[in-house]
Structure 1
Amino acid sequence: MKHGSARRSSPSAVLIALLLLALGMTGLLAYQALDAGRTHRAAAERALSDYASFAAWQLNQQASQELLSAMISTFIVPLTRVNAYDPSSWPSPADFRDASLQPPVPAKYMEGVRFFFRFDWRDSAMAVAGETPSPRVLRWVRDTVSRSPGRLETPAMRTQAFGSTDRNPARQLGIIVTNDSYIATIDSIDGRLRVVCYVISRDFDGRPLVTYGFETDARSFAQPLFADVMSRSTLLPPSLLRGIHRDSVLSVVAMAPHGGEVYHSASRAFPSAFTVLDSLDDGFGSMRLAVSLRSDIAPRLVVGGLPRSRLPMLLGLFALTAGLVSAAVVQMRRQQQLAQLRVDFVSGVSHELRTPLAQIRLFAELLRNGQLRSEQERERSFSIIDEESQRLTYLVENVLAFARSEHGRNTVVAEPLAMDSEMQAAIDAFAPLARVRRAKIRSSIQPGLVARVDARALRQIVVNLLDNAVKYGPLGQTVSVELSGKGDRVVISVEDKGPGVPKGERDKVWEPYYRLGREAESAAGGSGIGLSIVGELVRLHAGRAWVEDAAGGGARFVVDFPRESHSDYGAPAAEPKPAAGATA
């Protein structure tokens, strides 16, 4: 028996293992797809970050060039008038101011200039033209300028010239001025962001001579310069933008080294996921630059777009697969349980049939061989044969009814019926079977009740309820049967003295093959189909069936049917009612 069980469980174990393997492979494939999507997304994000880095580099180069060009055009006029050997001819701050405001020098970045200055390196004297700066601002300008020459290098070429062939002839410049001589510094002084721009001129030995410069508002200085840069360059190749306006995808911000925004290209802020930071050289105030790609448009710059996360879809797919595998395992277990229940059913029915057949055969042989000595013994043998034949008939009818129910072919022919007489006939038919268990049947039948039922089905319902009460109650018990009318219903109840039915299992007892745990372990026989037949036949009559506690202990099984009036008694029979799913 154990070997047979092992053989039956082996295919199930293999099937479960295959289902779990399929689930594992699905999980592995989902992980690989997720990893591939994550790698693809990381590559696309790196490409977008590289685009932002390229735009930041372009901005740095062009902004540096624009600042240098702006300062050269501003300071070239006073520088041409500096004679290293005649300091008295050096232009004053007022001369510098007047020259810088004449065409073609005037530019928008000069509109915020508050004062111009000249710093004489011979005696550290500073002269100012324009607004009078506060002592703190003046000290900041002086300190800033005085610290600058230490980072300048003297070029190998000592002779410089300026001019053009189509206007004034080129003249030798008597001072040294290189690109790193032009310096801009930005800082917050007196609660305002300020920029000081200046140029340091040196003699041929590299010694500083005179510095010219101006102090201005940082924003009014930076915004025109960066606006010019942005107007002349897209910062990204046009083939990459593919018709997208630069300001729709790119944002540029310039800030002072210690905080404070001086320029913003976008009219309004937009969410950014790809931002690159850079800074200008020290000679241009070390201004910080931030170039950002708009997160919701930036994916259009990547071929195929920025891949979306596949995690929700893959999790959903894995969950669906896991659910299907779980459902398959549950269904398989149910099939195994159903198969076991059917095995138990066949075993139970075989046992139920074998007992009456053995009794019939025994007493038939005794009668045939003339081994019974008295007429009383022969009558008793005939009585036992008759009782066991009725028992066999009851069992066969139950099996046939269950088979019809399983295939949806159970039918009833309902007609108005006198319930009292049919109930009494069913009780009388079951009496011999009750005597076998030494059980007594006490009936309380209300006369005159009429219901539209099938007489054969009613007898089967009553006999099955009585058999269930006698089988699972104690020996010698009294089973109470009651027929009563309650409103528009006819109610039949059967009470036993058994242990009762737990509340959690009262709906399950009407299912095929179901037996209570204690009944499966007890010696009481049973096929497990009696109450399921009762439930099916009651349903076909539009009735109800339920279990409740009996007043004196035990269980009380109740069924009811729609009540008919006396005037309907004797009316023609109704059309047969097929079971649900039955075919004609």
Structure 2
Amino acid sequence: MRRGAVVGVLLVLAFAVAAALAVQAYETARYHRAQADRVLRDYASLAAARVAQRSAIEIFYAVKPPLQAIQHAHEMAPHKPLPRPADLHFDVMEHEFSIAPYIRFTFRMDLATGQLQTSGHTVPPGVRKWLIDTLPVHTRTVYDSSWHMGSILGQPGWDRRYVVYTVLRDSQGSLRTALGFETKPAALRPLVVHATEKFPLLPRPLTGGVEYDSMGSIIITDRFGTEIYRSAAQYTSPFTARDTIGTDMGDLYAQATLRGAVADKLIIGGLPKSRLSLILSLLGLTAVLIGTALFQLRRESQLTRLRTDFISGVSHELRTPLAQIRMFSETLTLGRVRSDEERRRSLAIIDQEARRLTHLVENLLHFSRSERQTSHITPEPTALGPLVQEVIDGFAPLAAARGATLSAAIPEDLVVTADPGAVRQMLLNLLDNAVKYGPTGQDVRIGATRETGVAKLWVDDGGPGIPRADRERVWERFWRLERDRESAVAGSGIGLAVVRELATLHHGRAWIDENGPAVGGGTRFVIELPV
């Protein structure tokens, strides 16, 4: 028992260790996945930054030539009106796209006085006011003197305008004159298209051979949320990042989204697969195996206890007849009998107890053969009536010693295909149970009937009966009713188990009749044998 408890504790500890390892494996997998997700989000940020950088470069090189042409015209004739857009002459060879067709007017503005001069299309008053109010502030807060340009994307009165300018300094080095032009915002789309579709989202060493057009999607918007550009394919994934193209480039924003399906190829070794289902399955399997082991351990503990009870019961059953045989044989040997009647009585008791020992030993031998799976029978046509009478005659002394009366009603022509020794053993076990656990003076009846292809042989006793819940368990090895364990009646717990095993060897059955004996109380045990 103590060893079983130790093994049980060890199994529980083994499960606890397995659970701890499963949790650790799950946490490790989660950490690796979080790291992979972080890398992919970094990749998305890098993609957005690359799109923003390329777009800024495209815009810069598209607006630089007309700005230089306007600045050159101003330097050549600072007091003359600026050339109209159609009169601007600049080299567009250094860039594929020319912004010239989109320019609507050129302008010059004195930042100190707010005087604004324009050439080209008529400028609406609202746009003129917006430009006079916005340019001085923009030059002070946003203008990038290193790039020598600035741009403003606005919508005065819901009229979308894109203004590009540069600023000249006066003799004191202060920003004094703003020169530039206004163009249609639609001119930005070809520029960002060129920036996004001609260059990969990520450096090629990071892409793992993924085609550029299937890597992700791009959206370019302005600060008002108006879309400038949207790639043809759009994807939804958690790996999305946003970056600014630059406040000096019109306050545009680039959003890049990596396609979830290619994320596995962007990570060296692929994305860590979820091991949760596998871990839970293995943990569940471990729990089932440990539960099975604990059940078997508990079963073994029960069997050990039952075996101990069995040995104790068998020892008691052996000791009682042996003590009787020894006592009466000593009485006869020492000549202590006072009459022939006492001599005959002593010899009868020795014979009776010897029969009990023979019956018990037969049970033990069959049980041993059953344990080793070497039990076998030799069926033959057997007349059931004479065999039952023979059993009754042999068992009558034991029954009489316990005040029981035996009777039988067997059809004379009933012949079964059975091993006579096995049938005798089954009947003796049932009769022994009946007289052992029944009351003194009871009638024990044996009967039989022929039915379709089988014969039913039964034994009725007048005992207290067997509870319905225990009527199947009594056939198990070593098992005894609770009331019998606590009584003074000795028993091995294998008698009924031997009956059922021998019936099964005959391809028959053994059970307790639900209705009980036809007369009186007690229990009816039924054996079914082939005819």
Question: In which range does the TM-score fall when normalised by the shorter chain?
Answer: 0.7 to 0.9
Alpha carbons of structure 1 residues 541 and 196: separation in structure 2 relative to 1, 3 Å? same
Whether 1:558 and 2:523 are equivalent positions in the alignment is no
How far 1:391 sits from its partner (Å)? 1.1
How far 1:202 sits from its partner (Å)? 5.5
Alpha carbons of structure 1 residues 503 and 322: separation in structure 2 relative to 1, 3 Å? same
Q: 1:240-319 alignment to 2 at 5 Å?
A: 240-265=206-231, 267-319=232-284
Cα-to-partner distance string for 1:420-459 (whole Å, 9 max, x where unaligned): 2212222332222222332233433233111101111111
2:480 alignment partner, SS class = coil
Alpha carbons of structure 1 residues 103 and 322: separation in structure 2 relative to 1, 3 Å? closer
Q: TM-score, normalised by structure 1?
A: 0.79
Alpha carbons of structure 1 residues 97 and 426: separation in structure 2 relative to 1, 3 Å? farther
Alpha carbons of structure 1 residues 82 and 538: separation in structure 2 relative to 1, 3 Å? same
Q: TM-score, normalised by structure 2?
A: 0.86
What is the letter of the counterpart of residue 206 of structure 1? L
How far 1:536 sits from its partner (Å)? 0.9
Q: Distance in 1 between matches of 2:128 and 2:463?
A: 108
What is the letter of the counterpart of residue 72 of structure 2? T
How far 1:125 sits from its partner (Å)? 7.8
1:452 alignment partner, SS class = strand
2:491 alignment partner, SS class = coil
Cα-to-partner distance string for 1:170-196 (whole Å, 9 max, x where unaligned): xxxxxx997464313156976x9x452
Pick which of 107-116 and 228-237 moved more: 107-116
Give the structure 1 partner of residue 470 of structure 2: 505
Q: 1:158-557 alignment to 2 at 5 Å?
A: 179=147, 181-185=149-153, 194=160, 196-199=162-165, 204=170, 206-208=175-177, 212-217=181-186, 221-265=187-231, 267-549=232-514, 550=516, 552-557=520-525
| Alignment partner of 2:130 out of 143, 148, 152 | 143
Cα-to-partner distance string for 1:35-56 (whole Å, 9 max, x where unaligned): 4433333333333333333332
2:61 alignment partner, SS class = helix
1:14 alignment partner, SS class = helix
8 Å contact kept, 1:277–1:291: yes
Q: Distance in 2 between matches of 1:145 and 1:561?
A: 117
Q: Distance in 2 between matches of 1:181 and 1:68?
A: 8
8 Å contact kept, 1:203–1:209: no
Give the structure 1 partner of residue 13 of structure 2: 21
RMSD across aligned C-alpha pairs, in angstroms?
Answer: 3.5
8 Å contact kept, 1:120–1:209: yes
Alpha carbons of structure 1 residues 270 and 206: separation in structure 2 relative to 1, 3 Å? closer
8 Å contact kept, 2:36–2:271: yes
Alpha carbons of structure 1 residues 304 and 476: separation in structure 2 relative to 1, 3 Å? same
Cα-to-partner distance string for 1:472-525 (whole Å, 9 max, x where unaligned): 333333333221112221001223333433444333322211222332223222
Structure 1 residues not aligned, in runs of 5+: 1-8, 156-175, 564-584
Alpha carbons of structure 1 residues 500 and 278: separation in structure 2 relative to 1, 3 Å? farther
Q: Distance in 2 between matches of 1:203 and 1:534?
A: 119
Give the structure 2 partner of residue 96 of structure 1: 85
Pick which of 397-406 and 553-562 moved more: 553-562
2:163 alignment partner, SS class = strand
Alpha carbons of structure 1 residues 146 and 85: separation in structure 2 relative to 1, 3 Å? farther
1:284 alignment partner, SS class = coil
1:263 alignment partner, SS class = strand
What is the letter of the counterpart of residue 560 of structure 1? E
8 Å contact kept, 1:23–1:321: yes
1:240 alignment partner, SS class = helix
8 Å contact kept, 1:360–1:384: yes
Q: Distance in 1 between matches of 2:440 and 2:58?
A: 112
How far 1:62 sits from its partner (Å)? 2.2
Cα-to-partner distance string for 1:506-559 (whole Å, 9 max, x where unaligned): 333222112223322232221011111111110111101122331554332211
How far 1:210 sits from its partner (Å)? 6.0
Give the structure 2 partner of residue 568 of structure 1: none
Q: 1:115-154 alignment to 2 at 5 Å?
A: 116=105, 122=114, 129=121, 139=126, 142-143=129-130, 146-153=133-140
2:151 alignment partner, SS class = strand
Alpha carbons of structure 1 residues 469 and 260: separation in structure 2 relative to 1, 3 Å? farther
Structure 2 residues not aligned, in runs of 5+: none
8 Å contact kept, 2:475–2:500: yes
How far 1:115 sits from its partner (Å)? 5.3
8 Å contact kept, 1:97–1:129: no
1:292 alignment partner, SS class = strand
8 Å contact kept, 1:426–1:459: yes
Alpha carbons of structure 1 residues 333 and 381: separation in structure 2 relative to 1, 3 Å? same
The percent of aligned pairs where both chains have the same amino acid is 37
Q: Distance in 2 between matches of 1:562 and 1:141?
A: 117
Alpha carbons of structure 1 residues 129 and 406: separation in structure 2 relative to 1, 3 Å? same
